Each structure stands twice: as structure tokens, then as C-alpha cells.
Amino acid sequence: MSMPTGTNTTWAQVHELRRAEPGIGAGRIARRLGICRSLAQRLLRETMEEANERGRCTRKRRHPTEMHARAAIVAIRAEGNPSQLSAYSCSFCGGWHVGHTAGQKLMQILMAAE
């Protein structure tokens, strides 16, 4: 994820505040850094999105190409796993990952809620 132009230092400061104080809100960030609340909200949202993306990426095997990821899906299915899997490009690492399709994820969430 790219950092907002002109706010790289502030973006890094928000990231450090989030690391030091999990759950910190935009109001406190704005006061600590001397920035407006709307900028603090935007930067907080961006750092949270970046952290979520990094977390999804680092928990999965990175494949160098789409072809390698699709070959991994074939191997997983050959082992008897019936899951609906798809290959997708990762904007965080630039590689390819294998994951459940959106429909399969939704079904898992709905079944877990019952």
C-alpha cells in the first residue's frame, strides 16, 4: 500500500502510535501529532488497511506467478481438498496467493454464525 504523498512522516507516526497503543482513536492521534481530525481518521484507516493486508499476505504462501499459484490449487485438489480455491495477485507483496473464493468465504461465515 502506498503512503499518502506529503504525509509520509505523519503516516509513519500514526503507524508507531498504533503499535504503541492498540485501539488508539483518531481524536487522540490528531491531538498528539497536531493534525486535523479528518487527516488523522484517513491515516488511521490507511494504516489499518495496510496492517490487514500485510496480515493476510504473511499468513499465506507466496507464489511468483499466477501459473505457480494455479499449480498449487491443482496439487491441493489432488490431495482431496474439495474447497473452491482461486489464485489472486497480492498488492502488498507483488506475488500470487491461493485463497477461498468470495462465495466460499461467505458460506463459511454464515455457517459459523448458525
pLDDT (tens digit, 9 = 90+) per residue, 66-93? Answer: 999 999 999 999 998 877 888 988 877 7
Residue of 55, 49, 39 whose CA lies nearest to 13? 39
**Do residues 42 and 73 both lie within one domain?**
no
In a domain, 15, yes or no: yes
**pTM of the full predicted structure?**
0.50
* Within a domain: 3: no
Expressed as residue numbers, the domain containing 46 is 8-58
Query: Of all helices (H) and strands (E), which one includes residue 100?
Result: strand 96-100
Instruction: Count how many domains the chain has.
Output: 2
Query: Within a 10 A sphere around the Cβ of 30, how many other Cβ atoms?
Result: 19
Q: For position 9, what pLDDT does the model report?
A: 62
Question: Is the domain of 14 the same as that of 50?
Answer: yes
Q: What is the mean pLDDT of the chain?
A: 80
Strands 85-89 and 96-100: antiparallel
Task: Report if residue 2 sits inside a domain.
Answer: no
Residue 70 lies in a domain: yes
Asked if 87 and 73 count as a contact pair (C-beta separation under 8 A), the reply is yes
pLDDT tens by residue, 56-67: 777 888 899 999
Same domain, 72 and 108: yes
The helix-helix angle for 8-20 and 26-33 (nearest 10°) equals 120
Q: Are residues 54 and 13 in the same domain?
A: yes
Domain check: are 85 and 54 in the same one? Answer: no
Domain membership flag for residue 1 = no
